[in-house]
Chains A and B, each alone.
Chain A
Amino acid sequence: MPKRTPLYETHRALGARLIEFGGWEMPVQYTGILAEHQAVRTRAGLFDLSHMGEIEVAGPRSLDVCQELLVTDVAQVRLGQAQYSVLCDPEGGIVDDIIGYRVAEDRYLFCVNAANIEKDYDWMSTHNRGRADLINRSDEYALIAVQGPQASPIVQRLTTLDLTHLRRYWSVSGEVAGVSALVARTGYTGEDGFELFVPAQLSTAVWTACLDAGGKEGIAPVGLGARDTLRLEAGYLLYGNDIDAHTTPLEAGLQRLVKFAKEQFLGREALLRQQAIGISQQLIGLKMVEPGIPRHGYVLWHEERPVGRVTSGTQSPSLGMGIALGYVPPACATSGTELAVEIRNRRARAQVVPRPFFRRD
C-alpha cells in the first residue's frame, strides 16, 4: 500500500491523475504535462513534494558528522545557507543526493529523496556513532514548492519576510500564510522559486493560500510528470536513474562538489584513487539530431559500437527535441561528439551537448 502525503485529498479534488512513485501515491499530472511544464516556464507552478524526506542532524558535533557523511565542505555553509551534496559509500558510490540546510548554529536539515529515507537514516545512524542527534522528521514536514518567473511576487504576498533579499540557495524561517515555515530559495526546475517546509497538518492551508495568491499570475498545480521534464531540461540528476550506488560523483559530473582537502569523508580514498587512474564512464547530456525520443535504458552507440546507456530522456517541451542524460566512456563524452541512440532497433543520430539543456537568461 503506497503512502500518501497530507495533500492527497486535495490532489484528488483537483482531478489529478495519481501514480505510485518511490513508494508514494503522487499526482503525475492535473491538466496535462505540457501545460504544467509551460506554466512553470512562463508563470508559476505549485508542487507537492511532501514525499521527500527530512532528516535533522543536530548538536555540538553535528558539523563533524556532516563533514564525514558528505563530500562537500559543510564548514563553508553559513547559517541560513543551503548546499547541494552527495552521501557516498566507502567505494565512492552515491548513497543519495541531498540538499542540506543549515537551520541553526549547530543544526542541519537534509532534504533527501523519497525512496531513500529509510536507507539514508540507517546509513547516517551507522556512521554517526552516537555523536549527533539524528531525527527523521519526514512525517512532520510537508514540502510545497512554488516555482517559476512569477513565484517571487506570489509567495511575497503571503509573508512579511523580505524575499527580495533571500538569495538562491539560502533559506529563512518565518510565517507563510500564517503558518510557520522554512522558506528556501531552492528548486529542481531551472526557474526561480521557493521550497516551503511546513508542518504536515497545516499543509493544506499553505497549498490553498498559494493557489489563491497566484490566481492573477495563473499559477497551476504541477505533477511529477512535468517535474521530470523541467528538471531534465535544467540538467538536474534523478537518484535511481542518473546516479546510484554504481556511479560516483566524479563520473556523474559532480566533481566540483568533492572537497579532497577535507581530511576525512566517506568515499574519499576510493574517489582519490579513481581521480588518479581516471574514470571509465562519464555522464553526458545529449540532444537528438534525428526524430525520436531517448528513454531510460536505451543503448548509446559511437562509431558502430555500443558504448553506454541513456539514464533519463524525454522530448523537451521547451526545446522541441529529444534530450537525454547518459553514460559513455570519456573518449566519446566531448561536446559535439556524434552518437546514436538505439530506438526500437533503429539508430537515431544524436550529439553530445553541454548541460543544462535549458537555462533561464
Chain B
Amino acid sequence: MEFPKELRYSQEHEWVAVEENIATIGITDYAQEQLGDVVYVELPEMGAPVTKDEAFGVVESVKAVSDIYAPVSGTVVEINISLPDSPETVNDDPYGDAWMIRVEMSDLGELGDLMTADQYKKFVAEEQGEE
C-alpha cells in the first residue's frame, strides 16, 4: 500500500495535493483496496461549492455505495471528466490519473486538520487492527 509523502490525508481516506490555494482531491490506495473493483464514479459540477467533511461525490464498487467527503472547503474549479467513463482508474492509479476534483480553497487553515503520510499510515494500521 502506498502513502505518498507529499500528500495530506483525511480520516475519511481522501488525499489532498496542495499547490498555492488549489487542492487536488482523490481517494487513497487504502480506500480503493477496501472498496474493491470500482464501477461507478459521480462527481460534482464545475463551480459547485464543497464543504469540509461533507459528501461531494460518490464511488460505487460492485458491492457498495460510498460517499466521498471533501477534506477542505471551497469551490470546484476543475473535475476529472474522464473518470466517470473509466472508473477502474480509481483502483489502478488512485494518486495519479484517478484524481477527482480541484478545489479553490476558501480556508487554508483547514489544511492543518489533515494528516501527514506517516500519521495516515498509522491511522490505517489502527483501523485495520480493529477489523
Contacts and interface: CB of A to CB of B under 8 A. Distances in A.
B84 A291 contact: yes
Interface in A313-361: 314-315, 317, 344
Contacts of B78: none
B5 interface: no
Contact of B62 (A34, A292, A344): A34
Contacts of B77: none
B124 interface: no
B58 interface: yes
Interface stretch (A25-33, A240-248, A274-282): A25-33
Interface of B: 36-37, 39-40, 42, 58, 60-63, 65, 84
Given A33-B62, A315-B39, 5 more contacts: A34-B37, A291-B40, A292-B40, A293-B60, A317-B62
Nearest to B62: A33
A315 B63 contact: no
Interface residues of A, number: 17
B36 A225 contact: yes
B58 A314 contact: no
Contacts of B40: 291-293, 315
Nearest first, the 10 closest Cβ-Cβ pairs linking A and B are A315-B39, A33-B62, A34-B37, A32-B37, A293-B40, A293-B60, A33-B37, A225-B63, A225-B62, A33-B36
Contacts of B39: 34, 293, 315, 317
Nearest to A28: B63
A33 B60 CA distance: 13
A5 interface: no
B84 A315 contact: no
26 contacts: A28-B63, A29-B36, A32-B36, A33-B37, A33-B62, A34-B37, A34-B39, A34-B62, A35-B37, A225-B36, A225-B62, A225-B63, A229-B62, A291-B40, A292-B40, A293-B39, A293-B40, A293-B60, A295-B65, A314-B62, A315-B39, A315-B40, A315-B60, A315-B62, A317-B62, A344-B42
